[in-house]
Structure 1
Amino acid sequence: MSHNAGSRAVVLGGSIAGLFAARVLADAYDEVRIVDRDVLVGTKGVRRFCPQSQQANGLQAKGVHVMEELFPGITQELVDNGAPIGDLAGTCRWYTQGYRLKQETAGLPALGVLRPVLEWHIRERVQAIPNVVFVEQHDILGLETTADRSRVTGARVQAHGSKTEEIIEADLVVDATGRGSRTPVWLEQLGYAKPEEERKKIDLVYVTQHYKLRPGCDPFGKDTAINQIAHPGLQRGNVFFKVDGGLLELTTYGLLGDHPTTDQTELYQWIKSLGAKDVYEVLRYADPVDAPVAFRFPTTLRRHYQKLDRFPLGLLVTGDAVTCFNPVYAQGMTVAALCAITMREHLHSGATPLPLDYFRDLAKDAIDQAWEMTNTIDLTFPGVKGDRTRQVRMAQKFLKRTQIAATRDGKVAAAYFRVAALMETPESLMRPGLMLRILFKSMFGPSKESLRPHVWQAPPGVEPVFADVTEMPRAA
C-alpha cells in the first residue's frame, strides 16, 4: 500500500492495542506517532501506567495467529527467548465445575510469556518500522477539530514537566487509551452523543505471584499450565503456568466479594480451598520470588459506538477503549489484535476511514463473539445482574453439557477450546456429529477419572517449601 503524501496518524496510548494499531497504520500513513504517559522505548519491566502488567495476561490462539501475521517470526522469537509454548487443549490442565477435562492436542498455541516481555517484543518490532515515532512522557489533553467540529485534525498533548500545550496535527487519531478513554467525554464536548455503555458488575479481584520450582521438581510433567475456572458453586479460580525465565506465574481470583488476599499465609490457604489441589501441591515445592500483587476489576464494559448515528471523521477507537472483558477469560489482547485487523480493512483505499462503518465491522468481526461468550459465563453467577434471556439460558445449559462431555471425550474438549480461543464460533459446536457427541457423552455425567485427584510425588530427598500453610515462606 502506498502512503498518502505527507499524511500522519496519531495513536493515543502505547500499550498492546496501540502497538497493534500502529503496525497497520504504518502501511497507510507516511508517519505514525504513538503518544503515551510512560517511558516506552527500551522498557522491559512493569510500566508505571500499566498496573495490570504485573498480572497474568494471556494471548488466545487467535491472537497468536494475528500477532504472527502482523509481525512474522515473532512467535519463534519469543520461544527462542525462553517462553514455553504448549497447546491450549493438549498441555493445559483444565478444571471446570470441579472436574478435569480431557486433554487432546488441538493446534491452539498457548504461549507462557510475562506481559511486560510480550509487550517489549511487540514494541521492538513496531519501533523498527521507519515511519513510527514514539512520543513518550506526554499527557493527552484532548482533540483538535475543524471549526464545524465535523473532523478531528489532531491531538492536544503536554510533555511532563512542561506548562506548554502542544498540538500534533493528524489525518487520523486513534484512541487506544484503554478503559479510561476520554472519547465519550470529548464527543459530548463537541456536540455529539456519547455511546451507550453496557456494564456488568462482577467485583473481581485477582492476585498474582511468581515462583521457581525447587531443583528436581516438575509437578507439571508434560503440562504447561494448571487452570481452574470459577463457577457458581465456588466463585474462585486460578491460572497457573510456566513462563519465560524458568518461572511459574500464578494468578488466583475471586468474584462478587469473595476475594483473595496478598497476605502470604492467607493466600496459600486460599489456594488450598480451590476445588483441585494440584496448584497447592505445586506451591509446596516452589519458592516465591516476589510478593503477591492484587488488582481489582469491578465491572465489564462495552461502549456501543456502532449504535451512534453521528461521529466525527478522523477519529477511531480501539481495544479496551471500546470493550473491557472479564480478564479471567483472556480475551482483551486478542480482541485488540482483531481490532487492528478490522482497522486495516478500512485503510485499504488510502482515504480516511469512515468511523461508523469501522465501528459496525468492529462489533461484528472483533467484539460480538467474545462479548457474548463473556456474558454467557458471567451470568451463570446469580450475583451478577443482567438480562438472562431464553437464548442466554439455553447457551448456558449447552455450555454445561459441553464441559461435562469434555471430561469424557478429548475431541469435544478440543472443539470447546477452539471456540474459547476465538478460532471458531460457538455455532461450530452445533455441527450435527459434534452436537450428538456432546449430548450423548454428557448424559452420563462427568467421568470418574475427571473426579480423581491428580497425583504427583516429590523426588526422594527434596524437601517442601512448607509442610502446611501455617509455615509461611519468605519472598526472595
Structure 2
Amino acid sequence: MSGYVGDHAVVLGGSIAGSLAARMLADAYRKVTVVDRDELTDGSDPRRAVPQGHHIHALLARGQQILDEMFPGFTDELVSLGVPIGDFGTSLTWYFEGKAIKKAETGLTCVAAGRPLLESRIRRRIKGLSNVTLRELTDVVGLVTSPDRRSVTGVRVQSRAQGSAEEVLAADLVVDTTGRGTRTPRWLVELGYPEVAEERVKMDLTYTTCHFRGPLPFDPIGDDIALLPVATPEIRRGAIFARMPDRYSLSLTGLLGDRPPTDHEGFLAYAESLPVPEVYKALRDAEPLGPPVSFHFPASVRRRYERQSRHPEGLLVMGDAACVFNPVYGQGMSVAAIEALVLRRHLSQGPPKPRAFFRDLARAIDAPWDMSAGADLGFPEVEGRRTFKTRLGNAYITRLQAAAAEDGELSAAFLRTAGLVDPPQALMRPWVISRVLRGSAR
C-alpha cells in the first residue's frame, strides 16, 4: 500500500478482533488508537471483559494461517512457549454419536493455546507498531458525528482514573469491536438510523470448565492435543478435553438448559455421563487447579448491517459486535482474522465505504454462520429459522460423519471445512458424495 488513506483511526475494544483490526489499520492510517475499558495486561489470566476467557478456545486452521501471515513466526513463537501443536486430523480425536471418526492427515495446524495467551501475544505484536496507541481503563461514552449525522467523526471517551473528564477522540474512521455488548445498534437508532436487523439461534448453552494438574494418573491424550465428544441431537452432552501448555482442561457443554455443575463431584458425574468413558477415567483421581467455572451463552446473534438502507460514513463493525457464534465450534477468533483480511482489502482501495464493506463482511461470515447455526438447528428444540437447505445439510453431514468413522478421506474433507479452509460446498464434490453413499450402504 502506498501512502495513508487517513490521519486517525479509532478501534473500540482491545481483544483479538480489535487487535487484528488495529494491525490492518496501522498500514493505512498515520495513527491508530485502541480504546478498552480493561487494563490490557500481558498476563495469563482472563480479562474481566472476556468472561469466556476461562474456557478452552480453539484457533481453527484458517485462523492460524492468517495469524502467521499477519505476524511472521507467530506459531513458532507459541511453540517456544510450550504450546502444543499438531495436525487437526491426527492430534485431535473427534467423536460423533459417541464414535470416533478415522484419523487422517489434513496438513492443517492445530494450536492449543488458551485465550489469554493468544490475546497477550497478539497484543505484544500490536504494541510493537510505532503508530498504534492503547488507551486502557477507558470507557467509550458515545459517538461523535457531523452536524447532519451522515458521518461519524470520532468518539467520546472517559478515563476511569478518578476525576477524569470526558474527552473527544477525533477520527477519520471508527471500528467497533466491543463484542456481544456492542452499543452501535442503539447508537444508530438514537442518531435516526433504522434498527439493525438480527438473526438469532437460541440454544441456551452452558459450558463449565475445570483445569487439572498434569501429569494425569491416566492419560488418554498422550502426545496428542484433545479428545472432542461433540454434542449431537442423539447424544446431547459434549466436551472438549485438551492438553494445554501448563495444564489439562475439560470443558463440559450442555444445551437447552442442561447445565454442567460447578461443584467438583457434580462436574465429575457429568463427565462420567459422556459417551467417551476415557474422559472420566482420566480425571476422576486428578488434582483440580481450582473450582469449575461456568459460562452461559443464550443465543448466537448475527447483525445484518449489510441490509441497512442507510449507515453513517466512518463507522465499521467487526468481530462479535457483528456476529456472535456459538463458542463450542471455535469459530470466533478465526472469523475475526478472516474479517481483518476483508478490512485490509477495502483499505487497499482507500477509506472504507461502510455499505460495500458490510456486503463483503457478510460474505465472509456466511459459511461459518451456516455451519454453526445449521448444526444447532439440528436440535429440534433450538429456536431459529430453519430452511430446506438447513434440514438437508444436517441430514447429509450426519451421514458424512458416520461414514468418516471408517473413511479417513471423509474425515480430512470434513475437518478442512470445519477449519474454515475449504468452503462448505467442498463437501458436495462428487467424490465426497460417492464415499458418503458407500459409507451409508455399509
Asked if TM exceeds 0.5, the reply is: yes
Which residue of structure 1 aligns with residue 165 of structure 2? 164
Matched position secondary structure for 1:46: coil
Which residue of structure 2 aligns with residue 99 of structure 1? 99
Matched, 1:440 2:438: yes
Unaligned segments of structure 2, at least 5 residues: none
Contact 1:309–1:356 (8 Å) recurs in 2: no
Matched position secondary structure for 1:4: coil
How far residue 41 of structure 1 moved from its aligned partner, in angstroms, is 4.1
Matched position secondary structure for 2:337: helix
Which residue of structure 1 aligns with residue 334 of structure 2? 334
How far residue 162 of structure 1 moved from its aligned partner, in angstroms, is 3.5
Matched position secondary structure for 1:93: strand
1:323-362 to 2 correspondence within 5 Å? 323-349=323-349, 351-362=350-361
How far residue 100 of structure 1 moved from its aligned partner, in angstroms, is 1.1
Q: How many residues align?
A: 441
Contact 1:91–1:105 (8 Å) recurs in 2: no
How far residue 210 of structure 1 moved from its aligned partner, in angstroms, is 0.8
Contact 1:213–1:285 (8 Å) recurs in 2: no
1:189-204 to 2 correspondence within 5 Å? 189-204=190-205
- Aligned match of 2:370 in 344, 369, 372? 372
How far residue 43 of structure 1 moved from its aligned partner, in angstroms, is 3.6
Contact 1:158–1:166 (8 Å) recurs in 2: yes
Matched, 1:386 2:388: no
Question: What letter is aligned with 2:326?
Answer: N
How far residue 3 of structure 1 moved from its aligned partner, in angstroms, is 4.1
Structure 1 segments (4+ residues) deviating >6 Å: none
Matched position secondary structure for 1:424: coil
Q: Does the C-alpha gap of structure 1 residues 320 and 357 become closer, same or farther in structure 2, counting only changes over 3 Å?
A: same
Q: Measure the CA separation in 2 of the matches of 1:282 and 1:216.
A: 7
Percent of residue pairs bearing the same amino acid type: 46
Contact 2:268–2:284 (8 Å) recurs in 1: no
How far residue 216 of structure 1 moved from its aligned partner, in angstroms, is 7.3
Which residue of structure 2 aligns with residue 14 of structure 1? 14
Q: Measure the CA separation in 1 of the matches of 2:434 and 2:296.
A: 41
How far residue 352 of structure 1 moved from its aligned partner, in angstroms, is 1.7
Offset from partner CA, 1:146-185 (integer Å, 9 cap, x none): 1001111101000003351110011100000001101101
Contact 1:21–1:340 (8 Å) recurs in 2: yes
How far residue 368 of structure 1 moved from its aligned partner, in angstroms, is 0.3
Question: What letter is aligned with 2:362?
Answer: A
Q: Measure the CA separation in 2 of the matches of 1:166 and 1:329.
A: 40
Which residue of structure 2 aligns with residue 149 of structure 1? 149
Q: Measure the CA separation in 2 of the matches of 1:305 and 1:277.
A: 45
How far residue 218 of structure 1 moved from its aligned partner, in angstroms, is 3.5
Q: Measure the CA separation in 1 of the matches of 2:17 and 2:169.
A: 20
C-alpha RMSD over aligned residues: 1.3
Offset from partner CA, 1:409-466 (integer Å, 9 cap, x none): 011001001000010011111111221011101222xxxxxxxxxxxxxxxxxxxxxx
Greater Cα shift, 209-218 or 288-297: 209-218
Contact 2:217–2:282 (8 Å) recurs in 1: no
TM-score of the aligned structures, taking structure 1 as reference length = 0.90
Which residue of structure 1 aligns with residue 113 of structure 2? 113
Q: Does the C-alpha gap of structure 1 residues 377 and 45 become closer, same or farther in structure 2, counting only changes over 3 Å?
A: same
Offset from partner CA, 1:309-363 (integer Å, 9 cap, x none): 21111110000000001111000111111111101111013x3210010000001
Matched position secondary structure for 1:286: coil
Q: Measure the CA separation in 1 of the matches of 2:185 and 2:102.
A: 45
Q: Measure the CA separation in 1 of the matches of 2:173 and 2:43.
A: 27
Q: Measure the CA separation in 1 of the matches of 2:334 and 2:325.
A: 11
Greater Cα shift, 224-233 or 313-322: 224-233
1:28-177 to 2 correspondence within 5 Å? 28-160=28-160, 161-177=162-178
Which residue of structure 1 aligns with residue 412 of structure 2? 414
Q: Measure the CA separation in 2 of the matches of 1:217 and 1:232.
A: 30
Matched, 1:257 2:257: yes
Q: Measure the CA separation in 1 of the matches of 2:285 and 2:243.
A: 14
- Higher Rg: 1
